[in-house]
Chain A
């Protein structure tokens, strides 16, 4: 383990976070609030980050192990410090609550312990929604884009932070890849902000909701989330952008290169759109009578399907009150999540495709034991290793969800609450069903339960392994 090199990267992460805090600080200045909470946090970040950044590693070699540890630790530290402004400003005086809110922000979960977020100071509100934007594309990718890091081994860090079963660069250089990703991200966010302003949303709220959509987070400035705006236009704009941010960003790059046809051939995209179409149809039919007509049913169904599948977690209505069938469809969608290489959470559409295909391949192999068949995905054969790691991922994902719910059950709430809270957190969705449904929140959980949920959110965002490595003793050995 190359501790100094890892420390050096962590230092850069903390310094970057200090720089990012300038934005809520500016918001606080604009709204004439106290800037001290941000200044104190920045000071702490600069001290620790500067110290770590000064570490001069003997060799800058980062292998897969260091990559995972870097990413896991970065996210833990970032959340630990990111919670401080809430505490210092007195908006969320309890540190465990503030930590939960911050982890939920950075991991783009959107699960909240606030009964009424409208009571927050404006600066804290800005920071709370901005964490979604930072966490969506990932802070280590951000660092690769702006700071001169050696690109030779940074791919291990990229792999650990960018979601998906296989991660590859768009262009040869890590740095250029990171820049392209952030440019696409920034461009789409800006576009959404403008479209929301056309729907008579004020600039401040349009910007914050764009942050929350871009990261597929789900925090809102309003207690009733997007439902508070009572505007079909705003709902459709947000739903469409949730769909876009749930797509693989490589596709946008292909479109930018003028290879839209190649992007349209993506197998993952087809399945993603198929899942959306089927779920919307089923739910709309199921809730048509409840909503009083086909059109409103479609509107609510589309928004809720997008918010759950992209793992954003906005709401326009109380889907917890919907019929059982619709509720279950939504829970299943939580597991699937967005596409690989998107800002969404969940298991990712591509993994579900690979799992399904390997199920059929296994069936065939049992009937014709001598037959040799490879699994194909996106027009190329998939390596055995990749399939194997998808299987392991699937198992650990379910295991973590189950164990998480087990710990939550100690608080004595009902099964639906515990199970959906666990799923909604590990899949980075936010709202679940029953007590943690769209109208409820996570405030009632005990502190240990909240910490378990925090861990689950990080597990989900970083796709299990970086967080598990932090708990594996052999990883920490010197060599």
Chain B
């Protein structure tokens, strides 16, 4: 697909990396020549230097001939103007990133009047993801799929967990819950485990199942933690506002610590009931004073990765049950995983994931299957993709145990007639089913790829 991305900043580059890897033809627009150069030197894309809201630049980037135009600059207004111009010039779809909460409230109206396919709100997306993880504190990440009750929960096997030393085929009998372990990250390798796989302390495992079954499984395994009730937010950014609203709507107590007094005033205007403190959150005495010892959740959302990581580590040591740190720079992800025990989230990766999920939907609506959603489980090497089985798919009509399903792939769940269940060897896929496929080290774009070894490497 021909895609034009305006803005080669953090958001734009993360989306570009993801889409380029998936084989799309990208043109990047940025006002700064150095950003354009570095993009062109590190990815197979072409660049174009100029303002994305200027028709000449859009013309040079052939935005009018593009299938999708993504506006990812730092300015909402420029994004909206660029999208509108691109659509007018003939771009088939346009997606705009919007940060201003006022625009988020009128998202539907904007979408209609500005001819957007959809608008993405990085702050809101981040807040949503954080609140989901806080609901299920034992997990590093929680993924849910549209119209599917199944969730995929990723967590780490702690020392003296009851899971240690258990082979997978004994899980159901031992814990009595219908769940499926769909991927295991051990040291640096990622794999889709078989029945004789034995779990070890330190493994990061992703488990699928119905939320109730998952909760009972966690309880039985001794890894269950209660949902958080009392959260400290560090940094009063826009995502903090969204997050506070989401959390307070479920009855969680939120304390915000923000350094800038003007920002605190603004926060107090936006959030009537939240306790907002104007103080330097990097000072441990301040954290003690505002109740880090009582809190069971800690979210570091400041603009500095280093602060977020260090304070996250400190909160963990101080006994906070669930710690989440926002980390913009994902280049050190592997390094971080070794030192940071809890959840790290990167807004631009979340946004890139949403965009690529949408692009897959546009790109692969074929007669064989349609992609509904795509998520990465913790690490980018494992993908969970939701498909709708098409009428012409080759994998229908035969029991799964008789299909030549390639290694590194697993059917994590099937949704038929609104009911979700875990597939077994006897399951026969039917057109119209929704299936969630988990794949390690490659991304699957067409359901029938599970039958051969022809996926694209991630």
Chain A interface residues toward B at CB < 8 A: 64, 150-156, 168-169, 171-174, 176, 383
CB distance from A137 to the nearest CB of B (A): 20
Q: Verify B33–A173 contact, CB threshold 8 A.
A: no
B-chain residues with CB within 8 Å of residue A173 when the two chains form the complex: 25, 44
Ordered by A's residue number, 30 sampled pairs between the chains whose C-beta atoms are within 8 Å are A64-B41, A150-B44, A151-B44, A152-B20, A152-B42, A152-B43, A152-B44, A153-B41, A153-B42, A154-B44, A155-B40, A155-B41, A155-B44, A156-B41, A168-B46, A169-B46, A171-B25, A171-B46, A172-B2, A172-B25, A172-B26, A172-B27, A172-B44, A172-B45, A172-B46, A173-B25, A173-B44, A174-B44, A176-B25, A383-B33
A-chain residues with CB within 8 Å of residue B44 when the two chains form the complex: 150-152, 154-155, 172-174
B-chain residues with CB within 8 Å of residue A154 when the two chains form the complex: 44
A-chain residues with CB within 8 Å of residue B41 when the two chains form the complex: 64, 153, 155-156
A209 to B408, CA, bound (A): 54
A71 to B7, CA, bound (A): 33
CB distance from A164 to the nearest CB of B (A): 16
Closest to A171 in B: B25
CB distance from A179 to the nearest CB of B (A): 13
A152 to B33, CA, bound (A): 19
Closest to B44 in A: A151
B-chain residues with CB within 8 Å of residue A172 when the two chains form the complex: 2, 25-27, 44-46
The residue in B2, B33, B40, B41 that gathers the most chain A C-beta atoms within 10 A of its C-beta is B41
A408 to B245, CA, bound (A): 82
A172 to B44, CA, bound (A): 6
Where chain B touches its partner, the secondary structure class is mixed
Closest to A149 in B: B44
A-chain residues with CB within 8 Å of residue B45 when the two chains form the complex: 172
B interface residues, how many (CB within 8 angstroms): 13
User: In chain B between 22 and 68, which residues have their CB closer than 8 angstroms to a CB of chain A?
Assistant: 25-27, 33, 40-46
A370 to B40, CA, bound (A): 35
B-chain residues with CB within 8 Å of residue A152 when the two chains form the complex: 20, 42-44
A-chain residues with CB within 8 Å of residue B27 when the two chains form the complex: 172
CB distance from B13 to the nearest CB of A (A): 13
Closest 3 CB pairs of A and B: A151-B44, A172-B25, A172-B46
B-chain residues with CB within 8 Å of residue A176 when the two chains form the complex: 25
User: In chain B between 157 and 210, which residues have their CB closer than 8 angstroms to a CB of chain A?
Assistant: none
B-chain residues with CB within 8 Å of residue A171 when the two chains form the complex: 25, 46
CB distance from A208 to the nearest CB of B (A): 36
CB distance from A263 to the nearest CB of B (A): 15
CB distance from A196 to the nearest CB of B (A): 36
Closest to B26 in A: A172
CB distance from A324 to the nearest CB of B (A): 47
CB distance from A162 to the nearest CB of B (A): 14
A-chain residues with CB within 8 Å of residue B33 when the two chains form the complex: 383
A-chain residues with CB within 8 Å of residue B42 when the two chains form the complex: 152-153
A168 to B41, CA, bound (A): 11
Closest to B49 in A: A380
B-chain residues with CB within 8 Å of residue A155 when the two chains form the complex: 40-41, 44
A-chain residues with CB within 8 Å of residue B46 when the two chains form the complex: 168-169, 171-172
A156 to B42, CA, bound (A): 10
CB distance from B79 to the nearest CB of A (A): 21
CB distance from A211 to the nearest CB of B (A): 30
Closest to B28 in A: A172
A307 to B310, CA, bound (A): 69
B-chain residues with CB within 8 Å of residue A169 when the two chains form the complex: 46
A173 to B27, CA, bound (A): 10
A14 to B27, CA, bound (A): 33
User: In chain B between 1 and 31, which residues have their CB closer than 8 angstroms to a CB of chain A?
Assistant: 2, 20, 25-27
A151 to B40, CA, bound (A): 11
CB distance from A144 to the nearest CB of B (A): 10
B-chain residues with CB within 8 Å of residue A153 when the two chains form the complex: 41-42
A-chain residues with CB within 8 Å of residue B25 when the two chains form the complex: 171-173, 176
A169 to B28, CA, bound (A): 13
A383 to B41, CA, bound (A): 17
A-chain residues with CB within 8 Å of residue B2 when the two chains form the complex: 172
CB distance from B1 to the nearest CB of A (A): 11
Closest to A159 in B: B41
A174 to B33, CA, bound (A): 20
A173 to B2, CA, bound (A): 11
CB distance from A375 to the nearest CB of B (A): 15
11 extra interface residue pairs, beta carbon distance < 8 Å, beyond A156-B41, A172-B2: A64-B41, A152-B20, A154-B44, A171-B25, A171-B46, A172-B25, A172-B26, A172-B44, A172-B45, A174-B44, A176-B25
Closest to B48 in A: A168
The residue in A153, A154, A173, A174 that gathers the most chain B C-beta atoms within 10 A of its C-beta is A173
Closest to A383 in B: B33
CB distance from A202 to the nearest CB of B (A): 43
The residue in A168, A172, A176 that gathers the most chain B C-beta atoms within 10 A of its C-beta is A172
Closest to A380 in B: B49
CB distance from A445 to the nearest CB of B (A): 41
Closest to B2 in A: A172
CB distance from B42 to the nearest CB of A (A): 6
B-chain residues with CB within 8 Å of residue A168 when the two chains form the complex: 46
A-chain residues with CB within 8 Å of residue B40 when the two chains form the complex: 155
Closest to A61 in B: B42
A234 to B26, CA, bound (A): 44
A152 to B19, CA, bound (A): 13
Closest to B47 in A: A168
User: In chain B between 235 and 274, which residues have their CB closer than 8 angstroms to a CB of chain A?
Assistant: none
B-chain residues with CB within 8 Å of residue A383 when the two chains form the complex: 33
